Amino acid sequence: MDSRLRVEFHSHTNASKDSLTTPAQFVAACRRKGVDRVVITDHNTTRGARAVQSLAPDLVIIGEEIMTQQGEILAAYVTEEIPKGLPALEVIRALRNQRALISVSHPFDLTRSGHWKLPDLLAITPLVDAIEIFNARCIPNWFNKRAQAFARSHGLAGTAGSDAHTAFEIGTATMLLPPFEDAEGLRLSLPEAEYHLKRAPLWVRLASRYAVLVRAKHFGRI
């Protein structure tokens, strides 16, 4: 019997402004799709991860996608929320103090505001645990290919995730990993990852825009 865990490393709930997925919908999608562990990485908050964890403690790893002054950082096993807008080195220092695992979100995706300029990425490379080498929302796929080549050339582990902003996307890109219980266990497991990767359809970006519009309309009435 395969004891490995199917892990979704990059995902969002309605705690992110561009997602409408409720905690209950999130848990149901993970159970339906056979996801064993999920790192919930809402934008600059751990609120959504904690809400889902309250429903499914066995499923959720609290994470955060943090917008730094240089680009976005993807973290797992976050114990204290980190605000956006800080220098990347300050964010990494804070995450290290929490013993969190640190990856770098879609570093070469030029369509994202959180992509990295190469000199800035090189400056943090010795300080991170991994690079996101596959993001299901990266269009075109050469953004992922460049991340894979970068991780390989710098001897870094790779994380993969759907970057799900809808329940439909959860589990699109996952990793099979040996069992782990904490950030250090995850660090040790990542080099053994078996990747199951599928790109999301183009329309999912429109779903994110729709979520932003719906929330703006809702809050505009308050």
pLDDT digits (tens, 9 = 90+) for 100-142: 999 999 999 999 999 999 999 999 999 999 999 999 999 889 9
Q: What percentage of the chain carries pLDDT values higher than 90?
A: 87
Q: What is the pTM of this model?
A: 0.94
Number of folded domains in the chain? 1
Nearest to 201 by CA among 145, 112, 137: 137
Helices (H), 59-203: 88-97, 118-124, 142-153, 183-189
Query: Per-residue pLDDT averaged across 63-72, rounded?
Result: 98
What is the pLDDT confidence band of residue 221, given thresholds at 50, 70 and 90? Answer: very low
Indicate if the pLDDT at residue 46 is higher than 90: yes
Domain coverage including residue 10 = 5-220
Domain containing residue 12: CATH number: 3.20.20.140
pLDDT value of residue 210: 81
Strands 60-67 and 72-76 turn out to be: antiparallel
Determine if the peptide bond prior to 140 is cis (ω within 30°): yes
Rounded Cα–Cα distance for residues 108 and 32 (Å): 32
Q: Tens digits of per-residue pLDDT, 145-193?
A: 999 999 999 999 999 999 999 999 999 999 999 999 999 999 999 999 9
Sign of CA dihedral 204, 210, 216, 222: negative
Three-class DSSP category at 130:
strand
Reported as a single tens digit per residue, the pLDDT across 185-196 is 999 999 999 999
Q: How far apart are CA 39 and CA 186, in angstroms?
A: 11
pLDDT at position 222? 38
Q: Which residue reads 């790109």 in tokens?
A: 199
Q: What is the mean pLDDT of residues 204-208?
A: 79
Band (pLDDT 50/70/90 cuts) for residue 81 is very high
Q: Which two tokens stand for residue 16?
A: 């992110």
Asked if the model's pLDDT at residue 1 lies above 80, the reply is no
pLDDT band at 220 (very low <50, low <70, confident <90, very high): low
Task: Provide the 10 A C-beta neighbour count for residue 6.
Answer: 19
The larger pLDDT score, comparing residue 209 to residue 103, is at: 103
Looking at residue 123, what is its pLDDT?
Answer: 98
Mean pLDDT of the 78-82 span: 98
Mean model confidence pLDDT for the chain: 95
Whether pLDDT at 207 is above 80: no
Residue 120 is inside which H or E element, if any?
Answer: helix 118-124
